[in-house]
């Protein structure tokens, strides 16, 4: 393709160019972006996944339903997944088992449930190393897993989505669902943290 210019336009100008060009085609992108920003800023937040985790900690029937059919169970809390994410698999950590999720090919996550992936999740380092040097990488990130804990790494290569259900910390005995939800982080639902200490 013939290009008219020699120097590459700054990314901000390229972003504006595509937005304006699509708007000029009558595709109502400003309206679409406005609605989308609402999701990004106010809806797809890790607080949603935290509610799922807290409920699973206190309600054993819900927990069962969550393992049987993740999409339907989070739907009870009015959390929807995009149409193309047809399956949500909830991975249960135990004192002897730890799960961690990644996407080596791009950046796939259950973003409507646990929030959009953080920068490091999408970076080359995490994507290349977490599958091969899993324990080393987790240790570097502050999670030192004892060798007797089995580790499972989940690479999100299809449109099935994963979230980690952390172990409920012992110090939270008697806490309300709301108090419990407040300690659950996105990183714990990705599986790079275990929430076990106060």
- Shortest Å distance, C-beta 174 to another protein: 26
* Cβ nearer to another protein, comparing 42 with 174: 42
- Shortest Å distance, C-beta 32 to another protein: 4
Query: Which one, of 131, 124, 76, lies nearest residue 102 by Cα?
Result: 131
* Cβ nearer to another protein, comparing 148 with 173: 148
Active site residue 108: yes
* Cβ nearer to another protein, comparing 17 with 58: 17
Active site residue 193: no
Secondary structure of 92-115 in HEC code, one letter for each residue: ECECCEEEEEECCCCCCCCHHHHC
Q: Alpha-carbon distance 92 to 22, whole Å? A: 44
Active site residue 128: no
Query: In the beta sheet, which residues pair with residue 160?
Result: 87
Q: Alpha-carbon distance 153 to 98, whole Å? A: 9
* Cβ nearer to another protein, comparing 8 with 173: 8
Tokens of 188: 């714990």
Active site residue 106: yes
Q: Alpha-carbon distance 57 to 52, whole Å? A: 9
- Shortest Å distance, C-beta 153 to another protein: 5
Residue in 107, 128, 134, 193 annotated catalytic: 107
CB burial class (10 A; 0-12, 13-18, 19+) of residue 60?
A: exposed
Residue in 106, 128, 146, 176 annotated catalytic: 106
- Shortest Å distance, C-beta 46 to another protein: 9
Q: Show which residues are catalytic.
A: 103, 106-108
């Amino acid at each position: 393709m013939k290009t008219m210019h020699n120097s590459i336009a700054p990314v901000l100008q390229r972003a504006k160019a595509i937005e304006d060009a699509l708007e000029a085609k009558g595709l109502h992108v400003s309206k679409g972006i406005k609605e989308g920003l609402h999701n990004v800023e106010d809806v797809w937040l890790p607080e949603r996944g935290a509610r799922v985790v807290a409920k699973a900690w206190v309600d054993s029937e819900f927990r069962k339903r969550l393992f049987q059919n993740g999409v339907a169970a989070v739907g009870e809390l009015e959390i929807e997944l995009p149409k193309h994410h047809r399956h949500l698999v909830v991975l249960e950590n135990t004192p002897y088992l730890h799960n961690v999720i990644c996407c080596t090919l791009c950046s796939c996550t259950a973003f409507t449930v646990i929030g959009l992936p953080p920068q490091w999740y999408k970076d080359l380092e995490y994507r290349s190393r977490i599958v091969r040097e899993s324990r080393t990488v987790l240790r570097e990130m502050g999670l030192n897993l004892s060798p007797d804990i089995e580790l499972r790494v989940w690479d999100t290569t299809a449109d099935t989505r994963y979230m980690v259900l952390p172990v409920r910390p012992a110090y939270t005995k008697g806490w309300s669902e709301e108090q419990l939800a407040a300690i659950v982080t996105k990183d714990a639902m990705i599986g790079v943290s275990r929430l076990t200490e106060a």
